[in-house]
């Protein structure tokens, strides 16, 4: 399972980085989303991979999974989701104002 999760994070990060380096806004937003997925899974895994174990202390249970990364990842998901919607709105505004969705400041030269 470790190999599966690790390679999934790696592939998603690579795809995210590749897409962020594109010239148009849409692939960049997709890349950001991909990258935040990757980091969320990574944060989740930072408390070790444990299946079917409770995150809370309880009578009669002596193996636990770490609850902190779950709380961290919840915060990270909320923030990254909000940030993605901000960047979508901003990109839309820039597209309406400028008439193109190139990410660099002198986009016309590329047309």
Partner 1 sequence: MLNLLDHLIVAPVVLPAFLAPLIVLWLRFDTNAQRVFSVFGMLAMLAIAVSLAMRASSGPPEVYRLGDWEAPFGIVLVLDQLSALMLVLNAVLGLAIVLYSIGSGWDKRGWHFHSLLQFQMMGINGAFLTGDAFNLFVFFEVLLIASYGLMIHSGGRDRLKAGVQYVVYNLAGSTLFLFALGTIYATTGTLNMADLADKVAQMPAADAGLLRVGAALLILVFAVKAALVPFQFWLPGTYTNAPGPVAALFAIMTKIGVYAIIRVYTLIFTPQSPVGTLAHDLLLPAAGVTLVIGMVGILGARDMGRAVAYSVIGSVGTMILAFAQFSEAATVAGLYYLVHSTLVAGALFLIVDMVKERRETGLVIEAQPPIRNQGLLASLFFMAAIGMAGMPPLSGFLGKLMILDVTRGQWWIWAAILVTSLIAIVGFARAGSTVFWKSESLAREEGDEMPTPEDGTSAGLAFVSVGGLLAAIVAWTVFAGPASRYMQNVAAQLYTPQAYISAVMEGAAQRAEAAAQAGAHPEAGDDHDVQEAPHTDAPAPAQADAH
Exposure on the CB side of residue 58, measured as CA atoms within 13 A? 9
Going by C-alpha positions, the residue among 91, 111, 88 that lies closest to residue 103 is 91
How far is the C-alpha of 89 from the C-alpha of 55, rounded, in Å? 37
> From the list 18, 23, 46, 53, which residue makes contact with partner 1 (rule: CB under 8 A)?
46
> From the list 1, 2, 51, 58, which residue makes contact with partner 1 (rule: CB under 8 A)?
58
How far is the C-alpha of 2 from the C-alpha of 88, rounded, in Å? 34
Site string for partner 1, 62-91 (x = CB under 8 A): -----xxxxxx-xxx-xxx-xxx-xx--xx
Is residue 23 close enough to count as binding partner 1 by CB under 8 A? Answer: no
CA dihedral 65, 1, 32, 69 (to 10 degrees): 10
Which positions lie near partner 1, rule CB under 8 A?
Answer: 20, 25, 28, 32, 35-36, 38-39, 42-43, 45-48, 56-58, 67-72, 74-76, 78-80, 82-84, 86-87, 90-91, 93-94, 97-98, 103-105, 107
């Amino acid at each position: 399972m470790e190999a599966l999760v690790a390679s999934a994070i790696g592939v998603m990060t690579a795809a995210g980085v590749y897409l962020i380096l594109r010239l148009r806004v849409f692939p960049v937003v997709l890349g950001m989303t991909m990258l935040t997925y990757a980091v969320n899974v990574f944060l989740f895994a930072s408390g070790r991979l444990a299946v079917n174990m409770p995150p809370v202390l309880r009578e009669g249970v002596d193996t636990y999974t770490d609850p902190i990364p779950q709380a961290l990842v919840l915060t990270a998901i909320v923030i990254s989701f909000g940030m993605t919607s901000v960047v979508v709105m901003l990109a839309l505004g820039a597209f309406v104002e400028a008439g193109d969705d190139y990410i660099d400041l002198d986009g016309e030269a590329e047309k």
